[in-house]
Amino acid sequence: MPATHTHLMAEIAVKAENQVTKQILPFWDRAVIHPEGGLYGAVAVTGEADTAAEQGILLYARTLWSYATAAINLQSDSCLATAHRLYQALTHYFMDAQNGGVYWTIDASHQPVDTDKYLLAHSYSLFALAKYVEASGNQAALQAAFELEGLIQQHFLREDGTYCGHLGADFQPAPDSDEENLTATCNQLHTLEALTQLYSASPTASVKQRIEAILDIFTVKIVRHQGHLPLLFNRQWQPLPAETSIGHNLEAPWLCCLACMVIDDEARLAQFQPHLLRLIDVSLSRGVHSSGNILFGLDENGQAPDVLFWWPQTEALCALYCAAELTGETGYTEQLAKLWQNIENHWVDAEHGEWYSQLNLNLEPVLSEGKAGPWRSIYHIVRACSLLSGGFAAVANVNNKNQRHQRNSNDD
């Protein structure tokens, strides 16, 4: 590995960890974590909580995953204690005792609001519980994780091996839903993400088989297309017109590579690596603003929105890191370093903490967009910074032979 790569990654590793410990977690500890347990459902850019806001399962699950990850990587008792309280809140407030599974949203007094069953709700809850098991060894959480995995396979898995995204409260087809006629890439991706985390926490042959099956669907059906990652298909695997998501261009291939590492499948990893590199190249050539920031996406006419979002920046960091580690090519490291500098210059909120959620095209913060909400959580940032500071093993149990840069005490 060239010295340039090693030096840059060692420098960024320290900065990434500092972002988590000094910029991200303090904001969430202060502004988002409810002192009596659980979370506030929405928090403004300044850190002011909306105490009446509905609370979403994605916010809870992703935050639990993030604190469990920080507890492991930072060896932090306080993060583990927060993770435990979030685990208790998630299982107490969101678990549907009547029908099984988890609710999508609850109100501020923790009563269910949207009781339909969404695949993303179950996948991210599984994702969070599995990581909490790694941090705590909690066997009740492990049992709950496998119960959720069973529900996913029982109700959302279809005969062709794909997963539908939305069912009714009782796991029957939702009225007026077109789910049966569609296959969404995101549903397959986030199920893979959750199963990878479960296998990392407690490997079983059946979970490995499902991971392999989803990876093969990605290879044979989804990433084989040239250009951007297709987001939506009909049931005959014909891509349907849809907006392009640059963030998913970058997130999907590196998560597939991570899954290959977790199940220790070198053949599938070698098969997937060219798709990772191709989608990075497509994204960097067609999905970057003139400022160097990653675009959110492109509409069906190829036009970008008039705002930039935080999370595609983090997924670009992860994809570039993965490419640099797998190939040893310093070009990816240099691109990563430029993007990191851009984040420090424009996205980090030095006044209030955390990162801005959106910037306009003049790189000014969109102050109406908060830092916590149904779709805005801590996890994209924590995951990217954990990967950069600790390598693949900082996000899942992987074989270190895939890791070129090993951080050590001399890197500080």
pLDDT digits (tens, 9 = 90+) for 219-257: 999 998 889 999 999 999 999 988 999 999 999 999 999
Q: Which domain holds residue 363?
A: 3-411
Contact 365, 358 (CB under 8 A): yes
Q: Provide long-range contacts, Cβ within 8 A and 24+ apart, for 138-147.
A: 138/84, 138/87, 141/87, 142/201, 142/202, 144/91, 145/198, 145/201, 145/202, 146/198, 146/202, 147/100
Let me know how long the chain is: 412
Contact 333, 324 (CB under 8 A): yes
CA distance 83 to 129: 10
CA distance 329 to 262: 23
What letter does residue 182 receive in the DSSP assignment? E
CA distance 203 to 367: 43
pLDDT class of 3 with cuts at 50, 70, 90: low
Res 177 pLDDT > 90: no
Pairing of strands 112-114, 117-118: unpaired
pLDDT digits (tens, 9 = 90+) for 340-363: 999 999 999 999 999 999 999 999
Q: Give the pLDDT confidence score for residue 403 in this predicted structure.
A: 58
Q: Give the pLDDT confidence score for residue 225 in this predicted structure.
A: 80
CATH value at residue 45: 1.50.10.10
The upper half-sphere exposure of residue 91, i.e. CA atoms within 13 Å in the direction of its Cβ, equals 18
pLDDT class of 300 with cuts at 50, 70, 90: confident
Q: What is the mean pLDDT of residues 103-113?
A: 98
Contact 257, 273 (CB under 8 A): yes
DSSP codes, 210-278: HHHHHHHHIIIIITTSSSSPP-EEETT--B----EEHHHHHHHHHHHHHHHHHTT-HHHHHHHHHHHHH
Largest pairwise CA distance in the chain: 59
pLDDT class of 407 with cuts at 50, 70, 90: very low
What's the Cα-to-Cα distance from 24 to each of 44, 68, 263, 354, 379, rounded to whole Å? 14, 14, 31, 5, 10
pLDDT class of 2 with cuts at 50, 70, 90: low
Q: How many helices (H) and strands (E) does the chain have?
A: 13, 11
Q: What is the mean pLDDT of residues 43-56?
A: 99
Q: Give the pLDDT confidence score for residue 302 in this predicted structure.
A: 86
Contact 38, 55 (CB under 8 A): yes
Greater confidence (252 vs 407) lies with 252
Q: Give the pLDDT confidence score for residue 410 in this predicted structure.
A: 35
Neighbouring CB atoms inside 10 A of 242's CB total 16
Res 406 pLDDT > 60: no
Contact 13, 407 (CB under 8 A): yes
Res 405 pLDDT > 70: no
Could you give the angle at which helices 57-73 and 77-93 cross, rounded to 10 degrees? 160
Number of structural domains (the chain) is: 1
pLDDT digits (tens, 9 = 90+) for 350-396: 999 999 999 999 999 999 999 999 999 999 999 999 999 999 999 99
Q: What percent of the chain has pLDDT over 90?
A: 90
pLDDT digits (tens, 9 = 90+) for 184-202: 999 999 999 999 999 999 9
